[in-house]
Structure 1
Amino acid sequence: MDKKIKAMLDEEWDNEELFYNISDYCIDKEIKDGYEKLDENEKHFFAIGKLLMEVNNGGFDQYFLNTEGEYIRDTLHFLNLIGETEFSKLFSKAVNIFESDKTDDEKDDAFCELDDEFYELESSAYENLYDKCISYIKEQVK
Protein backbone atom coordinates (compact mmCIF):
# COMPACT_ATOMS: atom_id res chain seq x y z
CA MET A 1 0.00 0.00 0.00
CA ASP A 2 1.13 3.51 -0.80
CA LYS A 3 3.12 5.23 1.97
CA LYS A 4 0.99 8.36 1.64
CA ILE A 5 -2.20 6.39 2.39
CA LYS A 6 -0.54 4.72 5.37
CA ALA A 7 0.44 8.16 6.67
CA MET A 8 -3.15 9.40 6.23
CA LEU A 9 -4.39 6.54 8.42
CA ASP A 10 -2.33 7.99 11.29
CA GLU A 11 -3.97 11.42 11.04
CA GLU A 12 -6.60 12.63 13.51
CA TRP A 13 -9.51 12.69 11.06
CA ASP A 14 -12.96 11.25 11.39
CA ASN A 15 -13.80 8.48 8.94
CA GLU A 16 -15.56 10.78 6.47
CA GLU A 17 -12.57 13.13 6.24
CA LEU A 18 -10.21 10.20 6.00
CA PHE A 19 -12.31 8.56 3.29
CA TYR A 20 -12.36 11.71 1.16
CA ASN A 21 -8.66 12.41 1.66
CA ILE A 22 -7.74 8.88 0.55
CA SER A 23 -10.27 8.93 -2.27
CA ASP A 24 -9.07 12.33 -3.54
CA TYR A 25 -5.48 11.11 -3.42
CA CYS A 26 -6.40 8.01 -5.45
CA ILE A 27 -8.37 10.06 -7.98
CA ASP A 28 -5.42 12.43 -8.42
CA LYS A 29 -3.05 9.48 -8.77
CA GLU A 30 -5.31 7.90 -11.41
CA ILE A 31 -5.37 11.16 -13.39
CA LYS A 32 -1.58 11.33 -13.27
CA ASP A 33 -0.61 7.67 -13.74
CA GLY A 34 -3.71 5.88 -15.05
CA TYR A 35 -6.10 3.41 -13.48
CA GLU A 36 -3.95 0.36 -14.13
CA LYS A 37 -1.11 1.86 -12.07
CA LEU A 38 -3.27 1.94 -8.93
CA ASP A 39 -2.92 -0.94 -6.50
CA GLU A 40 -6.03 -2.91 -5.53
CA ASN A 41 -6.81 -0.78 -2.46
CA GLU A 42 -6.30 2.44 -4.38
CA LYS A 43 -8.67 1.16 -7.06
CA HIS A 44 -11.30 0.51 -4.40
CA PHE A 45 -11.10 4.02 -3.02
CA PHE A 46 -10.93 5.51 -6.49
CA ALA A 47 -14.05 3.59 -7.57
CA ILE A 48 -16.18 4.53 -4.56
CA GLY A 49 -14.89 8.11 -4.51
CA LYS A 50 -15.62 8.51 -8.21
CA LEU A 51 -19.13 7.10 -7.75
CA LEU A 52 -19.97 9.45 -4.89
CA MET A 53 -18.37 12.46 -6.57
CA GLU A 54 -20.13 12.00 -9.92
CA VAL A 55 -23.56 11.05 -8.57
CA ASN A 56 -23.57 13.85 -5.99
CA ASN A 57 -22.49 16.29 -8.69
CA GLY A 58 -24.86 15.29 -11.49
CA GLY A 59 -26.54 11.97 -10.87
CA PHE A 60 -26.06 8.47 -12.19
CA ASP A 61 -26.36 9.74 -15.74
CA GLN A 62 -23.27 11.90 -15.19
CA TYR A 63 -21.41 8.99 -13.59
CA PHE A 64 -21.95 6.75 -16.61
CA LEU A 65 -21.36 9.57 -19.09
CA ASN A 66 -18.01 10.45 -17.52
CA THR A 67 -16.79 6.92 -16.79
CA GLU A 68 -18.43 5.05 -19.68
CA GLY A 69 -19.02 2.26 -17.18
CA GLU A 70 -15.31 1.48 -16.96
CA TYR A 71 -15.27 0.94 -13.19
CA ILE A 72 -18.58 -0.88 -12.76
CA ARG A 73 -17.17 -4.27 -11.80
CA ASP A 74 -14.55 -2.88 -9.40
CA THR A 75 -17.12 -0.64 -7.73
CA LEU A 76 -19.62 -3.46 -7.24
CA HIS A 77 -16.86 -5.80 -6.09
CA PHE A 78 -15.67 -3.41 -3.40
CA LEU A 79 -19.19 -2.56 -2.18
CA ASN A 80 -19.86 -6.28 -1.81
CA LEU A 81 -16.44 -6.93 -0.28
CA ILE A 82 -17.09 -4.48 2.55
CA GLY A 83 -20.67 -5.68 3.01
CA GLU A 84 -22.27 -2.38 2.00
CA THR A 85 -25.88 -2.89 0.94
CA GLU A 86 -27.69 0.42 0.42
CA PHE A 87 -25.28 1.92 -2.11
CA SER A 88 -24.74 -1.51 -3.65
CA LYS A 89 -28.46 -1.95 -4.34
CA LEU A 90 -28.80 1.49 -5.91
CA PHE A 91 -25.65 1.11 -7.95
CA SER A 92 -26.72 -2.35 -9.17
CA LYS A 93 -30.03 -0.87 -10.34
CA ALA A 94 -28.11 1.91 -12.11
CA VAL A 95 -25.83 -0.61 -13.81
CA ASN A 96 -28.86 -2.57 -15.01
CA ILE A 97 -30.29 0.60 -16.51
CA PHE A 98 -26.96 1.55 -18.09
CA GLU A 99 -26.53 -1.89 -19.65
CA SER A 100 -30.16 -2.17 -20.78
CA ASP A 101 -31.54 -1.72 -24.29
CA LYS A 102 -33.64 1.26 -23.17
CA THR A 103 -33.52 4.45 -25.18
CA ASP A 104 -31.41 7.32 -23.84
CA ASP A 105 -34.59 9.15 -22.77
CA GLU A 106 -35.86 6.08 -20.92
CA LYS A 107 -32.48 5.69 -19.22
CA ASP A 108 -32.48 9.36 -18.21
CA ASP A 109 -35.92 9.00 -16.62
CA ALA A 110 -34.90 5.85 -14.76
CA PHE A 111 -31.63 7.46 -13.60
CA CYS A 112 -33.58 10.48 -12.28
CA GLU A 113 -35.68 8.18 -10.11
CA LEU A 114 -32.55 6.50 -8.77
CA ASP A 115 -30.91 9.87 -8.20
CA ASP A 116 -33.81 10.81 -5.95
CA GLU A 117 -33.34 7.60 -3.96
CA PHE A 118 -29.61 8.26 -3.71
CA TYR A 119 -30.07 11.84 -2.49
CA GLU A 120 -32.67 10.73 0.05
CA LEU A 121 -30.35 8.28 1.77
CA GLU A 122 -29.93 9.09 5.43
CA SER A 123 -26.61 10.50 6.57
CA SER A 124 -26.18 7.26 8.53
CA ALA A 125 -25.91 5.39 5.20
CA TYR A 126 -22.98 7.56 4.20
CA GLU A 127 -21.39 7.21 7.64
CA ASN A 128 -21.77 3.45 7.37
CA LEU A 129 -20.08 3.49 3.95
CA TYR A 130 -17.19 5.61 5.22
CA ASP A 131 -16.78 3.42 8.31
CA LYS A 132 -16.73 0.22 6.27
CA CYS A 133 -14.22 1.60 3.77
CA ILE A 134 -11.90 2.82 6.51
CA SER A 135 -12.21 -0.40 8.51
CA TYR A 136 -11.34 -2.36 5.40
CA ILE A 137 -8.25 -0.29 4.58
CA LYS A 138 -7.03 -0.43 8.17
CA GLU A 139 -7.30 -4.22 8.06
CA GLN A 140 -5.16 -4.22 4.93
CA VAL A 141 -2.40 -2.32 6.75
CA LYS A 142 -2.10 -4.86 9.57
Structure 2
Amino acid sequence: MNMEIQAALDVADETDSFLQITDVIYDKESEVGYDELNEAEKTVFCIDQLLREMENGGFVQFIHHEAGARAHDTHEALERIRAKASADVLSGIIAFFDDGQVPVDEDDRIAAFDLIESEHADDIASMDDRFYDSGENLVEMTLRFVQKNLKDFR
Protein backbone atom coordinates (compact mmCIF):
# COMPACT_ATOMS: atom_id res chain seq x y z
CA MET A 1 0.00 0.00 0.00
CA ASN A 2 2.86 2.38 0.78
CA MET A 3 3.91 2.49 -2.90
CA GLU A 4 0.33 3.22 -3.98
CA ILE A 5 0.11 6.05 -1.47
CA GLN A 6 3.47 7.46 -2.60
CA ALA A 7 2.34 7.31 -6.24
CA ALA A 8 -0.85 9.15 -5.31
CA LEU A 9 1.12 11.83 -3.49
CA ASP A 10 3.10 12.39 -6.68
CA VAL A 11 -0.05 13.34 -8.61
CA ALA A 12 0.02 17.07 -9.32
CA ASP A 13 -3.66 17.79 -8.68
CA GLU A 14 -4.32 17.67 -4.92
CA THR A 15 -7.93 16.55 -5.34
CA ASP A 16 -6.90 13.67 -7.59
CA SER A 17 -4.10 12.79 -5.18
CA PHE A 18 -6.51 12.79 -2.23
CA LEU A 19 -9.07 10.66 -4.10
CA GLN A 20 -6.44 8.11 -5.07
CA ILE A 21 -5.28 7.86 -1.46
CA THR A 22 -8.81 7.48 -0.15
CA ASP A 23 -9.47 4.75 -2.74
CA VAL A 24 -6.53 2.77 -1.33
CA ILE A 25 -7.74 3.29 2.26
CA TYR A 26 -11.33 2.38 1.42
CA ASP A 27 -10.16 -0.79 -0.33
CA LYS A 28 -8.28 -1.81 2.79
CA GLU A 29 -11.20 -0.90 5.05
CA SER A 30 -13.58 -3.04 2.97
CA GLU A 31 -11.18 -5.98 3.31
CA VAL A 32 -10.26 -5.78 7.00
CA GLY A 33 -12.82 -3.42 8.56
CA TYR A 34 -12.45 0.00 10.12
CA ASP A 35 -11.19 -1.27 13.46
CA GLU A 36 -8.19 -2.91 11.77
CA LEU A 37 -7.01 0.31 10.15
CA ASN A 38 -4.10 1.97 11.92
CA GLU A 39 -4.29 5.52 13.27
CA ALA A 40 -2.94 7.15 10.10
CA GLU A 41 -5.36 5.22 7.88
CA LYS A 42 -8.29 6.04 10.18
CA THR A 43 -7.30 9.69 9.96
CA VAL A 44 -7.64 9.74 6.18
CA PHE A 45 -10.81 7.64 6.29
CA CYS A 46 -12.51 9.92 8.82
CA ILE A 47 -11.50 13.16 7.11
CA ASP A 48 -12.82 11.85 3.80
CA GLN A 49 -16.14 10.81 5.36
CA LEU A 50 -16.46 14.20 7.05
CA LEU A 51 -15.83 16.03 3.79
CA ARG A 52 -18.30 13.89 1.85
CA GLU A 53 -21.08 14.35 4.39
CA MET A 54 -20.47 18.07 4.87
CA GLU A 55 -20.65 18.58 1.09
CA ASN A 56 -23.97 16.76 1.01
CA GLY A 57 -25.82 18.36 3.89
CA GLY A 58 -23.68 19.64 6.72
CA PHE A 59 -23.57 18.30 10.23
CA VAL A 60 -27.10 16.90 10.02
CA GLN A 61 -25.95 14.68 7.16
CA PHE A 62 -22.72 13.82 9.01
CA ILE A 63 -24.46 12.76 12.23
CA HIS A 64 -27.30 10.92 10.49
CA HIS A 65 -24.96 8.68 8.50
CA GLU A 66 -22.26 6.14 9.33
CA ALA A 67 -19.68 8.90 9.69
CA GLY A 68 -21.53 10.20 12.74
CA ALA A 69 -20.77 6.99 14.61
CA ARG A 70 -17.12 8.01 14.32
CA ALA A 71 -17.56 11.62 15.42
CA HIS A 72 -14.96 11.25 18.18
CA ASP A 73 -12.48 9.54 15.83
CA THR A 74 -13.12 12.30 13.30
CA HIS A 75 -12.40 14.95 15.92
CA GLU A 76 -9.10 13.22 16.71
CA ALA A 77 -8.33 13.01 12.98
CA LEU A 78 -8.88 16.76 12.63
CA GLU A 79 -6.50 17.34 15.53
CA ARG A 80 -3.89 15.05 13.96
CA ILE A 81 -3.92 17.02 10.70
CA ARG A 82 -3.86 20.23 12.78
CA ALA A 83 -7.24 21.50 11.57
CA LYS A 84 -7.94 23.45 14.75
CA ALA A 85 -10.90 25.49 13.50
CA SER A 86 -12.70 22.44 12.10
CA ALA A 87 -11.95 20.44 15.24
CA ASP A 88 -13.38 23.24 17.37
CA VAL A 89 -16.61 23.30 15.36
CA LEU A 90 -16.99 19.52 15.55
CA SER A 91 -16.37 19.73 19.31
CA GLY A 92 -19.36 22.04 19.49
CA ILE A 93 -21.53 19.51 17.70
CA ILE A 94 -20.34 16.70 19.95
CA ALA A 95 -21.01 18.83 23.04
CA PHE A 96 -24.74 18.91 22.22
CA PHE A 97 -24.96 15.20 23.06
CA ASP A 98 -25.46 14.01 26.64
CA ASP A 99 -22.07 13.88 28.34
CA GLY A 100 -20.48 14.65 24.95
CA GLN A 101 -21.03 11.05 23.85
CA VAL A 102 -22.31 10.57 20.31
CA PRO A 103 -24.17 7.24 20.20
CA VAL A 104 -22.59 4.65 17.92
CA ASP A 105 -25.94 2.98 17.24
CA GLU A 106 -27.50 4.69 14.22
CA ASP A 107 -31.08 4.76 15.53
CA ASP A 108 -29.99 6.10 18.93
CA ARG A 109 -27.72 8.70 17.31
CA ILE A 110 -30.41 9.94 14.93
CA ALA A 111 -33.06 10.09 17.67
CA ALA A 112 -30.74 12.03 19.96
CA PHE A 113 -29.67 14.41 17.22
CA ASP A 114 -33.23 15.02 16.04
CA LEU A 115 -34.06 16.24 19.55
CA ILE A 116 -30.92 18.38 19.59
CA GLU A 117 -31.71 19.79 16.16
CA SER A 118 -35.28 20.70 17.16
CA GLU A 119 -33.88 22.90 19.94
CA HIS A 120 -30.68 24.13 18.30
CA ALA A 121 -31.34 24.30 14.54
CA ASP A 122 -29.97 27.85 14.25
CA ASP A 123 -26.84 26.96 16.23
CA ILE A 124 -26.21 23.90 14.04
CA ALA A 125 -26.69 25.96 10.87
CA SER A 126 -24.23 28.49 12.27
CA MET A 127 -21.73 25.70 12.96
CA ASP A 128 -22.13 24.49 9.38
CA ASP A 129 -21.25 28.00 8.24
CA ARG A 130 -18.26 28.18 10.60
CA PHE A 131 -17.01 24.86 9.23
CA TYR A 132 -17.38 25.98 5.61
CA ASP A 133 -15.86 29.40 6.33
CA SER A 134 -12.94 28.14 8.43
CA GLY A 135 -10.45 28.68 5.63
CA GLU A 136 -8.90 25.29 6.33
CA ASN A 137 -8.15 23.22 3.26
CA LEU A 138 -8.70 19.79 4.78
CA VAL A 139 -7.60 18.02 1.60
CA GLU A 140 -4.26 19.83 1.57
CA MET A 141 -3.82 19.36 5.32
CA THR A 142 -4.55 15.64 5.00
CA LEU A 143 -2.06 15.28 2.14
CA ARG A 144 0.62 16.93 4.30
CA PHE A 145 -0.25 14.52 7.10
CA VAL A 146 0.05 11.55 4.74
CA GLN A 147 3.40 12.78 3.43
CA LYS A 148 4.77 13.18 6.96
CA ASN A 149 3.46 9.78 8.03
CA LEU A 150 4.02 7.79 4.86
CA LYS A 151 5.72 4.97 6.78
CA ASP A 152 2.42 4.31 8.62
CA PHE A 153 0.53 3.43 5.44
CA ARG A 154 1.17 -0.31 5.02
Match of 1:111 among 113, 124, 145: 124
Structure 2 gaps of 5+ residues are 101-111
| Aligned pairs (5 A) from 1:60-75 | 60-67=59-66, 69-75=68-74
Question: Aligned equivalents of 1:115 and 1:23: distance in 2?
Answer: 24
CA contact (8 A) 2:14 2:139 kept: yes
Structure 1 gaps of 5+ residues are none
- Give TM-score scaled by structure 2 length: 0.71
Distance 1:64 1:80, change over 3 A: same
Distance 1:97 1:38, change over 3 A: same
Question: Aligned equivalents of 2:11 and 2:2: distance in 1?
Answer: 19
- Give TM-score scaled by structure 1 length: 0.76
Question: Aligned equivalents of 1:106 and 1:88: distance in 2?
Answer: 23
Q: What is the Cα deviation at residue 45 of structure 1?
A: 0.6
Match of 1:132 among 123, 134, 141: 141
**SS in structure 2 of the partner of residue 69 of structure 1:** helix
Distance 1:80 1:109, change over 3 A: same
**SS in structure 2 of the partner of residue 71 of structure 1:** helix
Amino acid at match of 2:124: F
Question: Aligned equivalents of 2:24 and 2:97: distance in 1?
Answer: 28
**SS in structure 1 of the partner of residue 12 of structure 2:** coil
| Aligned pairs (5 A) from 1:11-50 | 11-50=10-49
Residue 88, structure 1, aligned to residue 101, structure 2: no
**SS in structure 2 of the partner of residue 92 of structure 1:** helix
Question: Aligned equivalents of 1:108 and 1:32: distance in 2?
Answer: 38
Amino acid at match of 2:142: C
Question: Which residue matches 1:5?
Answer: 5
CA contact (8 A) 1:26 1:42 kept: yes
Amino acid at match of 2:132: Y
CA contact (8 A) 1:27 1:50 kept: no
